[in-house]
Amino acid sequence: MATIAEKILTGKAGEIVEREVDYVMVNDVTGVPAFEVFEELGRAMKQEKVVVVQDHYVPNKDVASAEQAKALRNYARRYGITNYYEIGKGGVCHQVMIEDGFAAPGRLIIGADSHTCSYGALGAFSTGVGSTEAAAAMATGRLWFKVPVTQKFIVDGELNRYVMGKDIILHIIGDIGVSGSLYKSQEFYGTVITNLGLSDRITISNMAIEAGAKAGIIPPDDKVFEFLNGRVRGTYKPVYADKDSDYEEVFEYDASTIVPTVAKPFTPDNTVPASELDVTIDQAYLGSCTNGRIEDLRVAAAILKGKKVNSDVRMIVTPASERIFKQAIEEGLIMIFLEADAFVCGATCGACLGGYLGVLASGERCVSTTNRNFVGRMGHKDSEVYLANPAVVAASAITGRITDPAEL
């Protein structure tokens, strides 16, 4: 009997299939090479399937990125891409794909960005591809896939205070390792997952790739359907696994054993409870497709309200989309951040991948709500990134060292 991956890809695990995709997304880094390759093919553009989001190095960080963004803009115009997101209108591509109703249950979506797996939180099979594959899909609407085997993750019990989706996925990656799901699909179940809001679920699906997974899927429920009501494009059909699906492995976790968790440099599986660390920080970063949603900002603002960021720390807050930015202003969150002496800027991926707006110098350490802590990920090769949830980042910004918020 079939898993969600097998049903959406309509094939048995191990088979290589060619399938029609619902959407193909590219950003300013991967988009230009994709359009160049597309032009080599000399075919008509499947405009309705293509989504173009300027997010990595915009607003332009330098002349080279300005040229790149300009080239992408020109390609989008030339091929009449109506799903085009300029700065000020969109934000971080995955948040845009979700907010603007592209991602929906049962859909097959590819994106030339590894965190495309985020839409698994809405019950889609979505996965990251390269620019050449994106180009092929722009031209043919189709792509080849190897149907993956599926691992089942069950998280039951009660969540501890300040434990978020981030801690659940870091805990799992810490357990199975950064290649623990290589070539595989993940499915998430259990009372904890059911009780989680969509934002935390997106964090979990977002980081499926950090264990090497092809997709990280959560069966869609009323929370997803309500979210999509009024925003989804077209119709969709939820897909669920059969009761006796053939899972390659089943992992069970008791939520009460999960605490605010930090992944130390230089891999996301290098996890440790935040409370066990004695690490001073230079920067605290709140943002990204992993944890830059309104729910994340609320958690951080609740901790920072009436407090000040430590004088030895720079705190940077980057809402993941323009929509979230507006909502955060309306809710008074941005004023809380500003009064706490945090720096707040518009949506961009910039800092997360060491681009700009938060690059680290040699020897500097950043506690960050992002998804990767590789060597030099946020800047100098001798800088360090510690991955954590928004509550840990906010608490750490106040104390100047990595802090479990329960300590405050």
Of 168, 377, 390, 397, the residue at the interface with other proteins (CB under 8 A) is 377
- Choose between 119 and 325: whose C-beta lies nearer to other proteins: 119
Q: Which of residues 126-155 bind other proteins (CB under 8 A)?
A: 127-133, 135-136, 139-140, 144
In this structure, what token pair is assigned to residue 66?
């300005």
**How many CA atoms are closer than 13 Å to the CA of 8, on its beta-carbon side?**
32
62 is a contact residue toward other proteins (CB under 8 A)? yes
Q: How far is the CB of 37 from other proteins (least distance, A)?
A: 6
- Choose between 58 and 81: whose C-beta lies nearer to other proteins: 58
Q: What whole-number distance in Å separates Cα of residue 259 and Cα of residue 281?
A: 21
Q: Which of residues 290-349 bind other proteins (CB under 8 A)?
A: none
Residue type, 54: Q
Q: Which of residues 350-369 bind other proteins (CB under 8 A)?
A: 353-355
DSSP classification of residue 147: P
Where b means 16+ CB within 10 Å and e means fewer, 295-326 reads bbbbbbbebbeebebbeebbbbbbbbbbbbbe
Q: Which of residues 182-221 bind other proteins (CB under 8 A)?
A: 182-183, 209, 212, 214
Of 1, 44, 64, 361, the residue at the interface with other proteins (CB under 8 A) is 64
Burial class (CB in 10 A: 0-12, 13-18, 19+), 237: exposed
Query: How many residues sit in the footprint of other proteins (CB under 8 A)?
Result: 50
SS3 263: strand
Q: Which of residues 255-284 bind other proteins (CB under 8 A)?
A: 267
> CA-CA-CA-CA torsion for 84, 85, 87, 92, nearest 10 degrees?
-140
Asked if 280 and 312 touch (Cβ cutoff 8 Å), the reply is: yes
Q: How far is the CB of 300 from other proteins (least distance, A)?
A: 25
Q: How far is the CB of 65 from other proteins (least distance, A)?
A: 5
Of 65, 95, 126, 321, the residue at the interface with other proteins (CB under 8 A) is 65
- Choose between 105 and 148: whose C-beta lies nearer to other proteins: 148
249 is a contact residue toward other proteins (CB under 8 A)? no
Q: How far is the CB of 134 from other proteins (least distance, A)?
A: 9
Which residues, 6 or more positions from 10, have their beta carbon under 8 angstroms from its beta carbon? 17, 19
DSSP classification of residue 347: S
Q: What whole-number distance in Å separates Cα of residue 216 and Cα of residue 180?
A: 13
SS3 200: helix
375 is a contact residue toward other proteins (CB under 8 A)? yes
Binding site for other proteins (CB under 8 A): 16, 29-30, 32-33, 36-37, 40-41, 56-57, 62, 64-65, 67-68, 111-114, 116, 127-133, 135-136, 139-140, 144, 178-179, 182-183, 209, 212, 214, 267, 353-355, 372, 374-377, 381
